[in-house]
Structure 1
Amino acid sequence: MNRSALDAYSDGAVWWDTAISDIKKNEIIIRGYPIEELIGTLSYSQMLYLLLCGEVLSEKKARLLESVLVAGADHGPRAPSIAAARMAATCGISFNSCVATGINLLGDVHGGAAEKAMTLFYITNARLKANQDLLLADVVAAQLDHLEKNREKLGGIGHQLHDDDPRIRKLYALAEALVDEGEISGNYLKMAEEFRCQLEERKKRKMTMNIDGVAAAIQCELAIPAEAAKGIFAMSRGMGIVAHALEELQNRVLIKGPCPNRADLVRYTGPELRHLEKRE
């Protein structure tokens, strides 16, 4: 059972307990490393991984993680998070609030598929490790049966727009090169493809991997916790949100709504006109 912070503090615990950073006067330590050793040495993705997982990624693995961040950076104003940030920029609020408006739309539905896929991949891998006589295909089939029974969607497969997403092809090529070099196992990439193939067979139509699916497989290859996935995607898509919000701010258009100001694009389906009864 979770305890409140006050209860824990009353037992002599510190208020904030962290293994991430140790900050003192004229000294900043990150995961045991002096900050001055990290500045100018680590890449952005290496620093991100160090903060999240406590270790420094090799340069090749870090470039692969950075490729995931680049791939998810922007998907145009049709993406809800970007559209919201652009609309916010036309309403005269501060720029950081415009960015926050876009970021705050990222969650389970928009931006959460990678976390769902990673969770599924980690569960699948754990079952394979627990019983080495099981075949990957059988475990995947059982997982898909469970999803269908509970009417849950498989995250990371399918896209409303793309059927040959250029981001997917590139990320697979980069990841498979590291598999050949022995930098990553490739087990999660195979697992993701097994899920895609079996789902395609069940649906009797072409099913494509999407950016969330391949990003999930790569992040599992790097042993990143599934719970971090939405945050990582927010950092990735945040780049596009910042750029689009700035562009809209510079356009100096005011109060742009979610759709053009045309009566035929908005339909009222409520009660007919009515009036409150007069009180005597």
Structure 2
Amino acid sequence: MTEQGTAPEGRRLSTKEAAELLGVKPETVYAYVSRGQLSSRRGPGARGSTFDPGEVEALARRNRRSPAAPATGDQLSVRTRITLIDDDRYYYRGVDAVQLALDHSYEEVAEWLWTGVLRPDIRFTAPAETVLAARRAVDALPEHSGPTDRLRVAAISAAAADPLRFDLAEEAVIGTGRTLIPTLVAALPPVPSSHHDDGPLARRLWARLTGIKPDEVSLHILDTALALLVDHDLAASTLAVRVAASARAHPYAAVSAGLGVLEGPLHGAASGMVHRMLLDVLDRGSAAPVVAAELRAGRRVPGLGHRLYTGEDPRAQALFALLENRPEAAPALAAAHDVVATTARHTDLRANIDLALAVLTASSGMPAEAGETIFAVARTAGWIAHAMEEYDERPLRMRPSGQYVGLRPPQAMPASDGARKV
């Protein structure tokens, strides 16, 4: 190793050297390899794995910018039959998820996830009284409320209007999913000059995101985006849903737990940051100054990279391909490709779903928060599926043990700074 902490040119790093550069244990280096974040190689006659110094240094830089420490090999494992992510592809119940999303509507994909049965032309509808209760509650929120605020309040209101919400039988939970999702959409305030409360869910949602009249191509793209985002294994919000379901919270409460986590800037809200970045690129005419500003501020360029894929996010690939057929998306699509090409000069990070989703929202007259709304509505179907799975497991099993690192007892009682209790 050189004084700067890098290997001489042409020499690969040992596991120990890679671990020192990353500031982790050697076993964590192998965890990075298993998750596709590092590649390893065994040389002729070598006793252990070796690593590309540039790749290790790039990962070290990303970790330094990330507010969360990398996970070690000791991770909670949850058995699931819903989604498999393998070799840069993902599957719903064993079926290629991208092809399923391209060929079937969001509602049909949701049914497949819940029941394992495809029901052609199914439409999710909600009882009028449930929608009315949700709309009244959402309308009472302050004007500056965000989309996830509105969706959480709508979910709580829908729960209060459902006296059977504590029925956790599979058919009852599926029924909740079929009515809750359209309730969430209907509770969002429609954009002036655009109002649709009938037809496919994608049409109803479009009317709450933009006043631009959609054509069939645009609606198909939005519908496919919803289907692509239905589930993605144990994302942070999905884990929160399963924790709630493990405690036997009803499905409305489980979805509310997921919405709370989704609002974080590292999860559902990420597409909003990408949306604003694309508008900045379009305004400046080039991605170079925008990417430079992000890196100078010590931030990762949003919309790039995914810990579960070594190549491009397959969801982004599918959505980009559809957006190529929409002339209105051409400028935002070019800006997205410019961001990827500019960043590729320094790191091998590929486009993720947030970048593709931002192209859709930025080219459709939607606000920056629209991607978060699309993400939340879409993922509700996956959350319902995971809640159902968890209801069949042992209650309260999602209870890890804390590792206490505070002062060891016995400690002296703290000094009182007020009146003594008598």
Same fold (TM over 0.5): yes
Letter in 2 for 1:154: V
Q: CA deviation at 1:155?
A: 1.3
Q: Percent identity?
A: 24
How many residue pairs get aligned? The number is: 228
Letter in 1 for 2:247: C
Number of the residue aligned with 1:106: 262
Letter in 2 for 1:95: P
Note the 1:124-139 alignment, pairs <5 A: 124-128=281-285, 139=286
Q: 1:66 to 1:271 in 2, by over 3 A?
A: same
Question: CA–CA distance in 2 between the matches of 1:67 and 1:174?
Answer: 9
Q: Is the 8 A contact 1:47 1:56 kept in 2?
A: no
TM-score by length of 2: 0.50
Number of the residue aligned with 2:241: 85
Number of the residue aligned with 2:200: 43
Q: Deviations over 1:10-59 (max 9, x none)?
A: xxxxx9999xxxxxxxxxxx656786xx52xx321121111222343111
Structure 2 residue corresponding to 1:248, chosen from 390, 402, 414: 390
Q: 1:34 to 1:160 in 2, by over 3 A?
A: closer
Note the 1:1-280 alignment, pairs <5 A: 31=192, 38-39=197-198, 42-77=199-234, 79-107=235-263, 108-128=265-285, 139-164=286-311, 165-176=313-324, 178-179=325-326, 182=327, 184-203=328-347, 206-249=348-391, 251-257=392-398, 259=400, 267-277=403-413
Q: Is the 8 A contact 1:71 1:167 kept in 2?
A: yes
Q: CA deviation at 1:278?
A: 9.6
Q: Deviations over 1:168-213 (max 9, x none)?
A: 222222222x14xx4x34111121111112112123xx21111111
Q: 1:158 to 1:186 in 2, by over 3 A?
A: same
Q: Deviations over 1:104-143 (max 9, x none)?
A: 1012121122110001111222333xxxxxxxxxx31111
Q: Is the 8 A contact 1:72 1:236 kept in 2?
A: yes
Q: Select the structure with the greater relative contact order (CA < 8 A; seq sep ≥ 6).
A: 1
Aligned alpha-carbon RMSD (Å): 2.7
Question: CA–CA distance in 1 between the matches of 2:360 and 2:414?
Answer: 66
Question: CA–CA distance in 2 between the matches of 1:80 and 1:268?
Answer: 23
Q: Is the 8 A contact 2:295 2:301 kept in 1?
A: no
TM-score by length of 1: 0.73
Q: CA deviation at 1:62?
A: 0.6
Ranges in structure 2 where 5+ consecutive residues have no aligned partner: 1-139, 144-189, 416-422
Q: Is the 8 A contact 1:81 1:102 kept in 2?
A: yes
Please identify which structure carries the higher helix content: 1
Q: CA deviation at 1:228?
A: 2.4
Say which SS state the counterpart of residue 213 (structure 1) adopts: helix
Ranges in structure 1 where 5+ consecutive residues have no aligned partner: 1-14, 19-29, 129-138
